[in-house]
Amino acid sequence: MIPEPQRTYVLELWAELGCASADFVLVGGQALKFTVPYARATKDFDFVLDVIALRRNPGAVGAALDRLGYIVVPESRNFQFVKPIPNSVHTMRVELLGPEEHKRQDDIRVDLGGNVHARACVGGTIVLAESDVYEVEGHLPSGVASRAAIRVSRPHALVFMKCLAMDDRYRNVRGIRHHEHDRDSARVHVADIVDILAVQADPMHFREDLIKQFDRDPDLRVRMAQITRAYFTEDGSPGLVLYEEYLAANADLAPEQISRERGRALRLLMTLLFD
């Protein structure tokens, strides 16, 4: 689950958003915490938004963020927001994402109304449909007990999103200036994919759900198949190289242990991701 101090401030955000919070779906590393018991630490919160629903009350999201003291991340285009957590070295960093089909022409932004945007997200509509509600309990900054119903991406949709993100970062579409950061991000996405697959109690049911979600968009099923073939076909495929690099940098394992873990990961990936 979401650790402190971020849990307190997610509850604060949910209380301020009110009914609009039902149109947010948690994805990314924070969503991983609802699926993987030992999920890696992350402080960022990524949300896919039901853009159509939120446009019925334009300006509501921006007003809520303003009231809570969030400011726009300078390098973003009004879809990333941050606020310091008082008496702490931590921050709350929020990124808003919207289904790609709602984006502006020749732009990566999706209009929400007011001066707040979401970043266009391939597969966002699938994520909105493939989510479950979790109860999160804790306290508001005032100390008052609070409870929030937070929609979280299901594991199979999260794997799909992670595959897209891995491919994007590995291909370094942002340019050479971001090469090292993007390669490291690609490694993390592969490790997250393996972690999600490893904890599935019913692997075949997971595989069925993974495939069925693409009934809404068959073209994305083709894209997913292209990614799995390109990255996870054999031991020397790019995805397995990225995973080995991740293990070497982040796990206290001997070379022979890394080799065994890479083999285990390949078997998982081949069994659960391939059509």
Cα separation, 158 vs 40, in Å, equals 15
pLDDT at 30 over 90: yes
Cα separation, 157 vs 163, in Å, equals 10
Average pLDDT over residues 216-234: 95
Cα separation, 128 vs 130, in Å, equals 6
- DSSP character at residue 148: E
CB contact at 8 A, 269 and 197: yes
Average pLDDT over residues 28-32: 94
Cα separation, 227 vs 45, in Å, equals 25
Name the nearest CA neighbour of 23 among 60, 68, 74, 75. Answer: 60
Task: Specify the higher pLDDT residue, 40 or 10.
Answer: 10
Cα→Cα distances 88→4, 41, 80, 158, 252, Å: 11, 17, 21, 30, 30
Q: Which helix (H) or strand (E) holds 185?
A: helix 179-198
User: Domain residue spans in the chain?
Assistant: 6-153, 155-273
Q: Which helix (H) or strand (E) holds 46?
A: strand 44-49
pLDDT, residue 36, reads 93
Average pLDDT over residues 245-271: 94
| Residue 55 C-alpha from the chain's centroid | 23
Name the nearest CA neighbour of 157 among 114, 75, 99. Answer: 99
pLDDT at 275 over 80: no
pLDDT, residue 42, reads 84
Task: Specify the higher pLDDT residue, 50 or 179.
Answer: 50
pLDDT at 199 over 70: yes
- pTM attached to this predicted model: 0.94
Average pLDDT over residues 3-9: 94
CB contact at 8 A, 22 and 152: no
Instruction: Give the model confidence (pLDDT) of 98-139 as tens digits.
Output: 999 999 988 999 999 888 999 999 999 999 999 999 999 999
Given pLDDT bands bounded at 50, 70 and 90, which one contains residue 55? very high
pLDDT at 175 over 80: no
Cα→Cα distances 122→3, 109, 249, Å: 28, 12, 30
pLDDT, residue 196, reads 97
